Amino acid sequence: MKRYRYLGMLLAIAGPVSWAGSANISFHRLSGPLYVATDAEYFPTNWVVYVGAKDVVIGGATWTPTMARALAARIRRVTPLPITAVIDISPDPEWSGGNAYWKQVGAKIIAVGITNELLKNTWQERNQRARTNHPGYPILPLVMPTEVVADQFSLERGAIRGFYLGPTHTPGDIFVYFPQEQVLDAGSILKPHLGNLADADLRAYPKTLRKLQQMHLKIRTVIAGHWSAVHGPDLIQRYGRMLKEHAQDDHE
């Protein structure tokens, strides 16, 4: 019996999946059930990992299946609980490129309708853009979310709340909020620098940020999707100001 089990393990390791390469990921505890994983391979990107009482949920699928696998291995070092859901918080590759891995291990891949639509219609273009901007980034076939949810949704009995408020960095990026920890995962929407605005709706962006402010969420920490991860709630205003200055520059 034992021998067969080993054989099975060997087959599982040597199987048809070629995502065994290592990926450069760091992984730190933020507070309570929240961890932040950071990529140092393609571009500094931060993903929030929620380790619940029974399972694990991840905000963003990571860049590639290889990186997703590396993140799963890092999570294994802090908990044996299953990773049951991954949220594609944006159609951009750093948030959905790892879908194939998560699908293969049986995790739900969750997205709101607009993110799902954009993946379907623009993935190839986004994949190509990532290959131009980040040398070595692979060609990845589209792997769609497995579950399309309403624009406002909650997971883990309300411990995780996702919401789409309007166009920002792309027409289909969402926020993920952890009310118990008062942490807002802003993905590519908020960050310490303006970043790439190629796909941004510059008219709608500030309006969407105002909608966020009007929700009056209790926010202690904002996790930015790129560069340094941990910020105070003032990042919302700061990013709004950067957008405004950028708009003024354009008109001079």
CB 93 within 8 Å of CB 42: no
CB 224 within 8 Å of CB 46: yes
Query: Among residues 51 and 118, whose Cβ is nearest to Zn ion?
Result: 118
Query: Among residues 156 and 173, whose Cβ is nearest to Zn ion?
Result: 173
Whole-number minimum distance, CB 95 to Zn ion, in Å?
Answer: 7
Query: Among residues 69 and 191, whose Cβ is nearest to Zn ion?
Result: 191
Q: In whole angstroms, give the CA distance from residue 54 to residue 208.
A: 34
CB 73 within 8 Å of CB 46: no
Query: Among residues 84 and 188, whose Cβ is nearest to Zn ion?
Result: 188
Neighbours of 34 (CB within 10 A): 20
Query: Among residues 99 and 188, whose Cβ is nearest to Zn ion?
Result: 188
Whole-number minimum distance, CB 214 to Zn ion, in Å?
Answer: 24
Task: Return the SS3 of 26.
Answer: strand
Task: Return the SS3 of 93.
Answer: helix
Whole-number minimum distance, CB 246 to Zn ion, in Å?
Answer: 16
Whole-number minimum distance, CB 196 to Zn ion, in Å?
Answer: 7
User: Which chain residues interact with Zn ion by CB under 5 A?
Assistant: 188
Whole-number minimum distance, CB 238 to Zn ion, in Å?
Answer: 17
Query: Among residues 103 and 226, whose Cβ is nearest to Zn ion?
Result: 226
Q: Are strands 56-59 and 83-87 parallel, antiparallel or unpaired?
A: parallel
CB 7 within 8 Å of CB 1: no
CB 222 within 8 Å of CB 228: no
Q: In whole angstroms, give the CA distance from residue 212 to residue 157.
A: 22
Write the CB contacts of 54 (distance below 8 Å, at least 6 apart in sequence): 81
Q: In this chain, which residue has its C-beta nearest to Zn ion?
A: 188
Neighbours of 167 (CB within 10 A): 19
Whole-number minimum distance, CB 188 to Zn ion, in Å?
Answer: 3
Please state at what angle helix 235-251 crosses helix 204-214, rounded to 10 degrees.
Answer: 160
Whole-number minimum distance, CB 94 to Zn ion, in Å?
Answer: 5
Query: Among residues 156 and 199, whose Cβ is nearest to Zn ion?
Result: 199
CA–chain centroid gap for 49, Å, is: 9
